[in-house]
Structure formats: C-alpha cells, structure tokens
Structure 1
Amino acid sequence: MRLYLLALNPTDSVTEGFLPAAARLGLDVTVLTDQPEAHRRTIPDIEVLECDVRDFRAVITRISTHHRPDAVFSNSDHLQTQAALAAAYFELPGKDWRAALRAKDKAEMRRRLAASGVDAVWSTEITEPLALDAPYPCVLKPREGVASEDVVLVQGPEDLVTRSKEILERRPGTALVVEEYLPGELHTLETLGDGHVRHVLGGFRTELSPPPYFIEERMVFVPARPEPVQAQVLAQLDALGVGFGACHTEFVVHAGRARIIEVNYRAIGDQCDLLLARLLDIPLFEHILRTHLGEPLPADLGVRRDGAARLEYPCADRAGTLTEAPGPTELTVDGVRLTYRPLRETGERHDLYGTNRDYLGVLRATGTDQATVDRVSARFLAERRWEIQP
C-alpha cells in the first residue's frame, strides 16, 4: 500500500513519528515536498519527489503520474486542505476539505462558530495598517499563521497601526485578523477520530511568555477536563466539522466557559506528539495513519491513564550567537524519564523573534507523579547552561 505524505520543511513529527510508523505498518511512502533536498538529507531511504504542495492541482497531477495512492496524508498546518482535496479526488479516506479550510483560516473559523451559535468573538480582517474602533486589548495575528508567528497583543488603535505595519512589512500581502482578547487559562485538547468514533486523548495546560507575545514556554499534561468544559470544546469542533484523524485544539477556560483560540487540524507538534505516544503507551502515529487508510479506530485505544508529564522549552532572551548549550540527553531520574533535544546548533546566530523560533531546545519528562516530574525537570534545567553572545 502506498502512502503519499505532503510536507514542507522536515519536522520531528514526520521523521521520528509518522515515517517510522509507516514502516511498521509496511507502507510504501512517497514524500511530496517543495523542499526535496532537505528531506533527502534527513530521510535518505525514503522516496522524495519535488512538488508544489501548496497547490492541490499540482499534488493531484504528481500523484496521477506516479504510483496509485492508497492514502494521502499531511501533518502540516499549511497543507491540510490540499491533502484533503487530493484524497477526495482519488476517492480515498480523508478530512472534509471545508473543515480543513475552516480550521486553517482563523477568520472563517470565527464566522463559522458565530453562525453556528456556539460562540461569538469580535473579529475582523485587515490588509493594511488601520486604527480600528475595537474592544481593546485585542490580539493581532496572521489569518493563516502558525506557532505564535506574528501574534501580538495590542493595547489601542495606535499600537494596532504600529504592530500591523511591522507584520505587513515582513509579510507583504498577508491578511491579518484582529480579534478580542479572550481571558482565561490556556489549555489544549488532543483528539483522534475516524469520522464515526472520536477519542479524547487528554491535553495540556500551557504557560505563556509575558505579553505582548504568546510564546508557549511550558506544558503540563492534563489527562481529563471537567465534562462541561470538554463538551463545550467538542461542540465547537462539531460546528467546524472537525472529527477525522488527529486534531490539536487550543482553548481558554474562564468562569467555566471554554472558548477556542485556534484549531490545528493535525497532531500536536513541538515534540508533544512524541511525548503523548510514550505517555499513553499507544501506537499513536500508527492509529492516525490507519484512519487515512480507511481503517476504523478501536472502541478502546487501551490508553494508559496513570501518567504525568511536562514539556519545557528553554528560550533565547536576546539576539546573538549561541556559544554554549547542552547536547542531546536521555536519562531516568527518580522514576522520571527525561529526553532533551537541542533545537538550535551552537555557533548559530539568530534574531529575537518573539515566537516559538526562540526555542533553544525541548525537554520531555514523563513519570507517574506530577510533583516528581516537575521537581526533576526543574533540577535538570537548573543544572544546564545556555549562553548567547551578541
């Protein structure tokens, strides 16, 4: 059976998660990408074909002129609609392209939720710097952005003009969304469905950097939410038509009310998916691929429920060259399994971005007692040093 995997740049989710899972399932894999050389360096044993994967017509043509597909899949935020359209063209299982578009287009998501009556958020789109009469503070972000890139809290009309001008200079032609700031504790909900059965895998409580930016600095696993909160989030996903394959949903809870921030219609990234597979002790990546092969999910995934986990993302606090940093590490301390992976090489120079691109590394910690996981993680980070020189 042949799996076509659509990708942009190489990611840990693909190279450490989905490709090994595809091999375990005995699938022949063809990677379609607009960055073929980067993938060939990363995965030399996998077939890689160059393709303008942002254009669904190019994807369909590339597949039609190659081997017959059994599944078309992507874990990229930017390629869900294209993968869904290609799968539909070849009459294969996949996501509803309309739901994929609603999830990716943050303005359309707001319109859909409001029209469905499940949640209404003040929101508008701009394509040039404007001083709007809006309910400040507001959040300004690209309509189809990802990973906190150019997401900023604005305090008033002048601030909105300044910030939007900065973003549009970096991203000419980009449509921006201005929406009311939603207060509350930030959480995620991780779901997996086959179009009929939907499993809730748990989620994370997310700690952010100080405003005006929204960098995810720390995540703590939460196995279950209060039923009314979870029901509200799932109702909003139903309104969007989201229910096939993996989905990573970010939402806030304030005074018992759950409100979606954004929907990423794919598996959670930044190595959280690798942690989830270990923590829950399930073949997570295989389950996701099987749904795209048309296989139903089991009624019971056999999820392990006694786990505790934490992810920490050491961040750069200034622009400059990383001159000292810890290397990859695997160890177990007091029953806590620690995995540290650097995300930036020593000797590299970077600006300060105010986004997830400021990550220097990621620490994954899993165990069975949250207090112990927290203590061991804090000690691990305190004993290591990251040095940035101007």
Structure 2
Amino acid sequence: MTNVLASAAVLHPPGKPLVDRAIVVGGGLGGLSVALQLRKIGIDAQVYERNAFLSGGEGTLISLFPNGCKALNEASPDILTKLRSLGIANNPANLVFPDGTKFGEWKLSTLMEEKYGLPVIAILWKNVLKALDEALPEECKHFNYECCGITQEDDGAVAHFKKDGETISVKAPLVIGADGIRSTVRRALFGNIPPRDNGRTMWRAVIDMNLCSSQGLESGAYASVFDGRTLFIINGVQDKLYWAFSLEDDCCEGSTKIRSKTGEEAKERILAYFEKSSLATAIIQATEPELILERRVLDLPVLSSWFQGNTVLLGDAVHAVTPSLGQGANLAFEDGMQLAKLLASSSDLRTALEEYQALQMPRAKEISKRSNPKNQNDDSFYDWLYNPKML
C-alpha cells in the first residue's frame, strides 16, 4: 500500500488531536456523524456534499441499535435524547404469517435497554439526518461540491470538487471518504470496486398509519418470510407506517431484475408478487404510487485496505451491508466514533489509521457475513453486536 504520510517517528503531543482539520466527503448520516465526533475533540471538520442540500433516506425508516446509540451518545448525549423523542424505543418485534397473524416474537427487541443499557430506536431516516445537521454549525457544511478525485501530498491530501462548472481543490491533513456505496473517494484510492448484487429487489415506502388501521396493527415491528419473499413493517413512528418488501430473483424467473418505469408500474408488480399475503396487499393498496421506492439489494464486500496516505474511508464507502440486520448506519456511526477516539489518542496519524482499520475491519466482516437474510443468528452474536462494552 502506498503511503505518503509524514514520518511516523514524530511523537504527537498528548492532549491534542493528531490533525487540526479534516475534509469529510459526503453529507449523509456517516459523514455528518464523523464530523460531529471530530469537532468534539477539536478537529475542524468540514463537510462537502454533492447535492444542493442534505438529503437521502426519503421513504425510509431505520433502527438505531445499542451499538449505534453508543456512538451517537459519545458524539452528543443531547442528540440521542432528541432522537429518542422523535422515534419509538424498545418496540415489540412480532413474527407473523403472510396474513398478519402473529405466531411469535423477537423478545430481545423489548429487552435491549435493560440488557445493554441503551435502547433500540425506530425512527425516520430524515429525522436522524436533520438532528445531525442541526448539531453542526452551518459554516462547516458546503453544498454542490461533487468530488472528482483525491491526490496525496506529504503533509496531507487534496480533495478535488466540481462546482458550478469549475474544479475546486481543497487540502487538509486528513480526508475522510463518507460518500456511500458508490464512493468516488474509494475509486480514487483503490480503483473501481463495484457493489455486489444480492439477487433481490426491495420496495419500500412510508405512509400514514391510519390508512391501514383495518389491519389491526399495533405499534411495533412485524416480519414475515415466505416463498423467497420478506415483509418488514414498523408501525407507529410519528403516526407513520414504514414497509419494506423484498423478493428473490429466483422466485420469479428473474423478472425482479427489470426496473419499473413508473410508480404505478411498481405498485402493480408488487401487488402481483405479494398476492398471497393479505397483509402486504392491504398495505400496498393504501400506498400512493409516487411514494414507492424500488431498489436492487446491494452490498460491498469489506475492503482489505481502508486508507491510503492521508485519506480514509468509513461507512458504506468501505463496507456496505445488506439491510437484513439494520446495521448500515449503526456501523457507520461506530466507524466515526472509533476514528475520532484514535485521532485523539494515537501517537501519529498512520498508527491511528492502522488501528482504526484493525479495530473495525473484523467487526465489519462479521456483520457483513451475518447480514445474509437466510442466516439464523443466535443470542451470543447479538450480545457481541449490541453490547456497548464491546466497542
């Protein structure tokens, strides 16, 4: 691996972070959270986002598990308190038949705070993004900056951006690539490493919960798996119902690989694919076509190198996982917390980046492996995953 870091032999004075400034490429959950972690320890983190405003996660709900809550609490206890007020904590998770009849439950869902000291919070993605945004000063956020490359120098790295038809180059002692599964920063460091298709298509939406009141769904999560199909529903977060339904290609002769041209077409297809589930049918019928998001399920095998020179990756840019365990954002929050801790405590930058990679890579690999929806994970795995003492 090529490294152009300044000599690792130079000892760093205690009590000060290893760098005074960092460029964060990407204004998603991972980018904003690492910026918050870095600014907490005295690093001037500047976030560069390609869009005109912070966006992403529309039509999506996420679960903040105890490991993610631990990281956010480290960044700011006030943020965790706020997120808890905007979501629902420790909700029951019900296992149901395709018609919605309950036959079991995942008991750990209601016991997490008692067991691990921190809750699981179901919350709309946009509310997490907004809370992180509001916790950062406006002057550290820069919009319409589309990263187009990274170059390394002896005393830092330069991020190159396209903005208003011009190329703008910004240098800092550290550049952090938090720009998602199709990361430009990753490509600049390691070449083209495309995401991996998991042979499934997922449809999801957020609708008003009263549109499905006839189904008798109480506040909580509902999951059903049958015939290569999965149903996942969370009801009651700010009077909304979130649903995510997926289907394996092999169960429909690969027709799921064909992308719907319109929301109306997507709705018709899902109704046909899930006609054996009266619960799914009722929810789909209650959903306006324009609210339906259709995506292939992708992941990114965990990279063997997480940094080069003065540039490091985190979150989906280095280890995108499938949504089965709901760990994508939580793992990104972990990355930001651990990176900040090491930048505040290590003797030099190269050591900090090596320790960050050594600490998070095995964890990301295990979570990626366990995120296969066909896996049956036992309690010992969840203890390892959620217990804040493991971080």
Q: TM-score, normalised by structure 2?
A: 0.29
Bigger share in helix: 2
The one of the two structures with greater contact order (alpha-carbon pairs below 8 A, sep at least 6) is 2
